[in-house]
Amino acid sequence: MLQKLLIRNYAIIESVDIEFSGKLNIITGETGAGKSILAGALGLILGERADSSVLFNAAQKCIVEGSFSTQGRNDIQKIVRESDLDAAEEEIVIRREVASTGKSRAFINDTPVTLAQLKQFTSLLVDLHQQFDTLELGDSDFQREVIDALAGHQSVLKQYQEAYTVYSATQKALAAAKEQQAAANKELDYHTFLYEELEEAQWKANELEALDAELKILGNAENIKSALGKINYALNEGEQPLVQQLKGLSNQLHTLHNFHTAIPALVQRLQSAQIELRDIAGDIENLNNEIRFDEERIQVVSDRLSLGYKLLKKHGVQTTGELLDIQNSLQQQLDKIVNLDAAIAHLEKEAAIQLTQARQLAQTLTANRQKQVNPFEQKTGKLLTQVGMPNARIKIAINPAALNITGGDAIEFLFDANKSNRFEPLKKVASGGELSRLMLCIKSLVAASVQLPTLIFDEIDTGISGEAARQVGIIMKDLGQSHQVIAITHQPQIAAKANAHFFVYKKEKDEKINTHIKLLSAEERVDTIAQMLSGKKPTASALENAREMMDL
């Protein structure tokens, strides 16, 4: 419930403080006095956008602050606790500030919040109905929400939406897997051929590099053997083999070791050189024995290299390792296709189970909605008669539709204004005045079924007068017994039903027009309603009529 509304420096309002009743609050005033400006200021704390043009004084910031009682609203108190919005017991204070630069800030209990957070939170506190909001009556989502509110199956709807969300996610994953599979299958044969070609060759790490080195040796085997033979001959077999010469020199030097202290070390070095040279000679001889010209092997290596070079060129790489990487990559792609088949089969099974669960819950929703059709049509018909539309009837069409986040139903409100039995979609045939009254009837029905927030009507009485306006006032009065209702109206019949009647008026101050608002006393209400009936100077009969309307 909105307890207090404080407005500073907004539009033509310098400063206004309002304390509302918990029942039916009526706001009246002359055209242009600023009644709808109050609704605009309230819109700021409900998350509407604003800029510096709303400032009464461009040098100061605009402040709109609302104090809400949350007594009995466990849902709101739970959100306050979960969001760490420190609050006084059962009270929420929402403030919006607009600076001269146009920048705005929003606060819940002095905690800064975004506009999105503000809108989400205040939607639980206030239902603001403005002149053109009757357009939402023709919206299929609004129509479905009305029936769902009357059906009172929010727990089932939540279960269904959770089940449908899971099913949708599985369907999305399944579609993605099938798309991957289709893309992979387009090149499956080619990738299989490439893999089998590499797999059949059975390449080993660094094989091509080793074969290339081997072919160089095989191709030059005779030259290599000739050179190695000459070197080996010089080391071991010549007239004066180098190994033997070093041995002889070492022996000669050894005979002098008693004559100088440096000679033993030199002898040791000559002996080491002799041993090293002898080892080199042995290795050369072994290498010479290993190398031989093998025409058959040359052909094998050449053929293997030819195949390898062909594959290197084909795949645009240069080493055996890169070929093996390509082979592994192709293997992974082929394995992935096999795994995709299994994944698709699993997802299809999961989707089928989830679809069955979603359909069962959707059927429950449909059954609950259909149960509300006749009672809703009858109750709405009675209320329409009450507000001066005795020939108007509404019909609810519930038809099967593809499963979506709201269920498996297409819900449409059909309207017949003149008992013609030709029901047409509401948005096509109902006039503005008819829509306004119909919206009030529907909200009064919904309010009886669910815990609605504060209801604010900005000139919902457009297009009606007389008895129809009186009946609208009665409905609002009844609605105010269980909900806080705030209504801006031009109709005396509606104003007469108020529990609290506020009057908006203009006053000049410092050569500026300023909007003020005051709570009327009983006598002031009589005079104001009489003026609404007969003009600035009400007649005695108008005053008496006003008292009758107010049941005084």
Tell the burial category of 29 from Cβ atoms under 10 Å away from its Cβ (0-12, 13-18, 19+): buried
Query: 297, 318, 339: which is the final residue of a domain?
Result: 318
Same domain, 2 and 113: yes
Query: 318, 335, 356: which is the final residue of a domain?
Result: 318
Q: What is the DSSP letter of 370?
A: H
Residue 522: count other Cβ atoms within 10 Å of its Cβ.
Answer: 10
Q: What is the DSSP letter of 55?
A: B
Angle at 495 between CA 494 and CA 499, to 5 degrees: 110
Inside any domain, residue 153:
no
Residues in Cβ contact with 448 at an 8 Å cutoff, skipping those fewer than 6 apart:
482
Cα torsion at 419, 421, 423, 426 (round to 10°)? 0
Question: Looking at the chain, how many residues does it have?
Answer: 552
| Phi-psi sector, 415: left (phi>0), alpha (psi -120 to 50), beta | beta
Residue 63 tokens read as 């402040």
Give the distance from CA 99 to its chain's centroid. Answer: 30
Range of the structural domain that residue 39 is part of: 1-125+453-520
Same domain, 111 and 227: no
User: Can you give the pLDDT of all 552 residues of the chain as single tens digits?
Assistant: 899 999 998 988 889 999 999 999 999 988 777 787 888 888 888 888 887 778 888 888 999 999 988 877 776 777 777 776 765 557 889 999 998 888 889 998 888 988 888 888 888 888 765 443 444 666 788 889 889 989 989 899 999 999 999 999 999 999 998 888 887 777 777 777 888 888 888 889 998 888 888 788 787 877 887 888 888 778 877 677 887 888 888 888 888 878 888 888 888 888 888 888 888 888 888 888 777 777 888 888 888 888 888 988 988 989 989 989 998 988 887 777 777 888 899 999 999 999 999 999 999 999 999 999 999 999 999 998 888 888 899 999 999 999 999 999 999 999 998 888 889 988 787 777 777 778 888 888 887 676 667 888 877 776 677 888 888 899 999 888 888 899 988 899 999 999 999 999 988 877 788 889 999 999 999 999 999 988 888 888 989 999 998 985
User: What is the number of domains present in the chain?
Assistant: 2
Inside any domain, residue 470:
yes
Q: Are 433 and 137 in contact (CB under 8 A)?
A: no
Same domain, 2 and 107: yes
Beta bridge pairs of residue 6: 17, 65
Residues in Cβ contact with 172 at an 8 Å cutoff, skipping those fewer than 6 apart:
none
**Strand ranges inside 109-239, DSSP E:** 111-113, 126-129
Nearest to 513 by CA among 26, 28, 32: 32
Inside any domain, residue 403:
no
Same domain, 212 and 310: yes
Query: 289, 318, 347: which is the final residue of a domain?
Result: 318
Same domain, 112 and 228: no
Inside any domain, residue 113:
yes
Nearest to 150 by CA among 478, 483, 444, 481: 444
This prediction's pTM: 0.63
Which CATH number fits the domain that encloses residue 473?
Answer: 3.40.50.300
Same domain, 232 and 114: no
Inside any domain, residue 136:
no
Tell the burial category of 18 from Cβ atoms under 10 Å away from its Cβ (0-12, 13-18, 19+): buried
Inside any domain, residue 164:
no
Interstrand relation of 485-488 and 111-113 (parallel, antiparallel or unpaired): unpaired
* 3-state SS, one letter per residue, for 452-492: CCEEEEECCCCCCCHHHHHHHHHHHHHHCCCCCEEEECCCH
Inside any domain, residue 399:
no
Inside any domain, residue 352:
no
Same domain, 121 and 2: yes
Q: Are 34 and 514 in contact (CB under 8 A)?
A: no
Q: How far apart are CA 238 and CA 244, in angstroms?
A: 10
**Strand ranges inside 262-322, DSSP E:** none
